Structure 1
Amino acid sequence: MKKAFVVLATTLSISGAFAQNAATPAAPSSAAVEAGVAEHQQRVEERIAFLHSTLKITPDQEALWKTFADQMRTNGQSMGELFKQRAEGQSTRNALDDMKEYAKITQVHADEMQKLVTAFEPLYNSFSADQKAIADKTFRHGAPERGGNGGKRPKNKHNSQAKPADAAPAASDPAAQ
């Protein structure tokens, strides 16, 4: 009897887990989506302010800085709009639509990043040696001041050796755009 009870309890708990995984998450409300877009834009503005201060932008560099910061804002708006559309269509999308939507977001992100690199290059080239050193450290993925682990990937069963991350600008983070 005791064994039957254990088997029954185990069966019920496993079936409950499957039922939870099969449930379709509710689509976020439009107010929640709008709040998320506004929060995203706020993070972009905070990142711009942080970089301006950290990189010690000089008055002579302001025009180049403005071009770069405006591109960050544009990227943030583009990505925010795509994620908004994705969230709003969540309940009606099938697996194929979901993959297509993700491919579209990935392509737009790549295109926007190229524009950001184009805007950053003349600014970076105008930097003093000290500014370049600060930029190199600040923009490195996984930099300790960004909560990372110094650009190293954590060891896991699929990645037995820590490898350095690429040194792409931190502004490429979806959260920073």
Structure 2
Amino acid sequence: MREWMPVSSSPRGRLALAAVKEFGARPFDEVTVAELAAAAQVTTGALYHHFESKLGLYAFVRADVERRLLDRMEGALTAAGPDRSAAVTSALLVGLDFAVREGFLRILGDPPAGTGPDPLAEMLAEAVPAAPLLGRVLAAAWRAALAAVAEGEPPDQVRAAVAALGLRLPDA
């Protein structure tokens, strides 16, 4: 259960909503604290008060967006049945469609900051326990697909490329 859900009328909620939009569309380094504050109609002090830093706000919204992504991808893995290759391909496509539809190309297309675990790579590795390194490889390929869309490639062509990966996964 969520500890907090953005409420658009609160300064914290407006900051979170503005950050999701800005970090979804542009790389972290290109988004300024002043732009985030202006988009949320708050002062920069409010950003620092609620999140301590731009990185703190980014980490907060990244965790939320990533959890929504993983929920959808895990659902696709489960719904696809026992064929692991079809299930993983389905999860990758569901995740891609979600990220494109919601405008989360940059925030999900960049690997997680820092030295912590990569939740997407871990989820994909669990989906293919016989080849756990494949989770990292698939996560990198999926992020490259998002980057292609962010750089102007047509989403339907990128989706077709992901679908054409033709995964032949080992049995669990």
TM-score between the two structures when normalised by the length of structure 2? 0.28
TM-score between the two structures when normalised by the length of structure 1? 0.27
Higher relative contact order (CA 8 A, sep 6+): 1
Specify the structure having the higher radius of gyration (Cα).
Answer: 1
